[in-house]
Structure 1
Amino acid sequence: MRNLVLVLTFVFIVFGGLGFVLGRSTLANRSFLTASLFLSESGNSLETSSDENSGSQPVFDFSGDYCDQSVSFSDPDDRKLCFNPPKLNRWRLFEINLTDNRILFYENGLIKKIFPIAYQAPYGKWFQTPTGFFEIGVKNKRFLSSIFPVYMENAVQLYEDFFIHGIPYFLDGQKVTSQFSGGCLRLEDKIASDFFQTAQKGDAVVSYLTLNQIQLKDGFFAPVDTSHFWVRQRFNSPLKNDWHYFEDKRENYIQHAGLDLAPSSEAWNLSAFSIFPGTVEKIIVNGQGDGGLGNAVILRHEKEEGVFYSLYGHLDLIDAGIKTGDYLSGGSLLGKIGNTGFGCRFWKVGKDSCYQTGEDDVHLHLEIKTASVLDSPLKDNCSVSGKGDCIGYTSQNPDDFGFFDPLKFLFNNLESSD
């Protein structure tokens, strides 16, 4: 009997240990598959939970899946950033997380460095830091601003006139004490120097907001599954106007009139939903005068404050069950998000075209405005394509042309622009 017990104990240890190894390997492989094309992943640590209900069972901590073991955290709370996979598959990638005021540097899919942002322009102010896909441009150890008479040291170009740099100073050498920013990102001098040394011309950049801390206002519905989407381009984000040049730098830019919401790599629900009860006003088919919005739906809504319209653009598919004139409840399925426009899947990460073979820039373009039109409710001429059209953009702040900021319209917990 004693020998039998010893044999069973030996079998339990061997196969139990093997099961532990295989289980850990399976979880690690699942994490690797999530990381997609990346060549390596960081190790995972094994901890014992101090929770009274855990029974001292081992608990796996996978919070380091996307953080290299060498990364240092100036703020312990930054460890939460390790949970999210990078938003682009690039060997070298900078992610500018404007919600958490952090710049993340990825190499081979792992976070190598985290740079705290000292200051950015307040939400809703001119100019905000641009959001979207960019590449690191020119680098200057000492750079004179093109907008204000100040020097910026360790300046790295994000997009056109927008730079990431150290604390600026006036021509007489006096440091700027105000926190005003024309859309550039300001880093503490030591951090700016490190960022300058790390960034290389041509490195991929994604600038974005998260939806982690916002809450829907009463009566409204989320247009997407917000737990797996992020703000790819925000309302009033500047875009360089290539068809005109003005001495006043502000006039060289047009402004994004909607909100672009993109799915994370882990998102499985790509549905678009109505934000409020309303009537289907228009259904636009990709390639039939869509103006670049592709498959799109416009809904008419009524509130005590008045009538407003919501537009859902770039849909891959429109739900076959809806038609013009239908009344839809809030949260109704409208279709599947995509990257349609101009009769094809036009929108790409990088150069946009029906003939480009780059990654699809899948996102929902959401507009909230005062008229049931594709372009601006109030007459405007922003020359998005050199033809005088203003679909998706305005020449100045979209608030002045009958648009509402969807984030402020739908959600609480946003910084006031007043």
Structure 2
Amino acid sequence: MNVFSQFLSQVSAIPLAVIDAAIPLNFYVSIDISENNSAVLDFNIADSGAWEKYINSYLSLQNSQVAHGGYLEKRNLYDRSAYFKNVAEHNKRNIHLGIDLWCAANTKVLAVLTGEVHSYKNNKNHGDYGPTIILKHSIAEKTFYSLYGHLSEASIATIKVGDLFVQGSVLGFLGEASVNGDYAPHLHFQIIKDLADYFGDYPGVSASSDLEFYQQNCPDPNVLLKIR
């Protein structure tokens, strides 16, 4: 664990909610959608409806409401989108840099920590984030950012740069496939140490050739969420 990750792990001794706090952690279940999960190969991964059916079936079988996971997971899911796909294997962006929380559309998304809106944007590429909000946090003289992707369009309809959100307050809602980049409804949550010049966007998937940098700049968000 690097210095930044250690700092984040000490921000809170208890789990911090990033989706509806009314859903208890015992209704969360981990999920593997990496290229190693043979079940993912049994349906058309290019079809968001098939993905939603798979996720809902998995949650039902597990008697759960939220499926979570995916940090540094290598996925073939992104091959369906020209936005991610490259010819050279070492440049293919397919290693996930955040944590995904798969649950119903319109589920509340919460500010994981108190922060102000740095930026927001509707990233409309196929397979992209869709509506996205980035919060800026300052704790113990350290500044960092949290990214919330795959939101509803209403989540960014009235928001403004500089708006303050208190920890645990409703930041937005999960979007449906028609607006969220064409995925089954879920939240992509990512911590970013240095946002550089990005605005309303930041890479959520890395190529293997860039992974060392991104792993340092985007630590496992579970150091805050403490789901497992």
* TM-score for the superposition, normalised by structure 2: 0.59
Partner of 2:145: 309
SS of the residue aligned with 1:325?
coil
SS of the residue aligned with 1:239?
coil
Counterpart-to-counterpart distance in 2, 1:132 and 1:327:
43
2:112 to 269, 275, 291: 275
SS of the residue aligned with 1:318?
helix
1:329 to 166, 190, 201: 166
Contact 1:315 1:337 (8 Å CA) reproduced: yes
Give the superposition deviation at 1:243: 2.8
Partner of 2:220: 405
Q: Deviations over 1:385-415 (max 9, x none)?
A: xxxxxx3211137562211211133316x4x
Counterpart-to-counterpart distance in 2, 1:328 and 1:290:
29
Counterpart-to-counterpart distance in 2, 1:132 and 1:262:
19
Contact 2:95 2:205 (8 Å CA) reproduced: yes
Q: Answer yes or no: is 1:370 the counterpart of 2:193.
A: yes
Contact 2:99 2:222 (8 Å CA) reproduced: yes
1:338 to 175, 188, 195: 175
Q: Answer yes or no: is 1:393 the counterpart of 2:214.
A: no
The sequence identity of aligned pairs, in percent, is 25
Counterpart-to-counterpart distance in 1, 2:224 and 2:143:
14
The 1:370/1:330 distance shift into structure 2, 3 A limit, reads: same
Counterpart-to-counterpart distance in 1, 2:134 and 2:127:
14
1:49-128 correspondence runs (5 A): none
Contact 2:70 2:98 (8 Å CA) reproduced: yes
Q: Deviations over 1:283-305 (max 9, x none)?
A: 21354x89821111110001226
Counterpart-to-counterpart distance in 2, 1:399 and 1:228:
33
* TM-score for the superposition, normalised by structure 1: 0.34
SS of the residue aligned with 2:75?
strand
Q: Deviations over 1:317-341 (max 9, x none)?
A: 3165642111221011111101468
The 1:257/1:275 distance shift into structure 2, 3 A limit, reads: same
SS of the residue aligned with 1:254?
strand
Q: Give 2:144's aligned amino acid.
A: F
1:154-173 correspondence runs (5 A): none
The 1:290/1:243 distance shift into structure 2, 3 A limit, reads: closer
Counterpart-to-counterpart distance in 2, 1:278 and 1:320:
19
1:235 to 47, 71, 92: 71
Give the superposition deviation at 1:371: 3.1
Contact 2:121 2:156 (8 Å CA) reproduced: no
Q: Deviations over 1:80-101 (max 9, x none)?
A: xxxx8xxxxxxxxxxxx767xx
SS of the residue aligned with 2:150?
strand
Q: Give 1:234's aligned amino acid.
A: G
Q: Deviations over 1:140-178 (max 9, x none)?
A: xxxxxxxxxxxxxxxxxxx9xxxxxxxxxxxxxxxxxxx
SS of the residue aligned with 1:134?
helix
Partner of 2:18: none
Counterpart-to-counterpart distance in 1, 2:117 and 2:92:
36
Contact 1:239 1:253 (8 Å CA) reproduced: no
Ranges in structure 1 where 5+ consecutive residues have no aligned partner: 1-83, 85-96, 104-127, 138-158, 160-203, 211-226, 349-360, 376-390
Contact 2:150 2:181 (8 Å CA) reproduced: no
Q: Answer 1 or 2: which has greater strand percent.
A: 1
Partner of 2:129: 293
Counterpart-to-counterpart distance in 1, 2:38 and 2:221:
17
Q: Answer yes or no: is 1:254 the counterpart of 2:67.
A: no
User: In angstroms, what is the RMSD of aligned CA positions?
Assistant: 4.1
Partner of 1:244: 87
Contact 1:131 1:234 (8 Å CA) reproduced: no
Q: Give 1:410's aligned amino acid.
A: L
The 1:295/1:328 distance shift into structure 2, 3 A limit, reads: same
Q: Give 1:395's aligned amino acid.
A: A
Q: Give 1:256's aligned amino acid.
A: H
Counterpart-to-counterpart distance in 2, 1:273 and 1:320:
17
Contact 2:151 2:180 (8 Å CA) reproduced: no
Q: Which has the larger radius of gyration?
A: 1
Q: Answer yes or no: is 1:135 the counterpart of 2:37.
A: no
Q: Give 2:113's aligned amino acid.
A: F
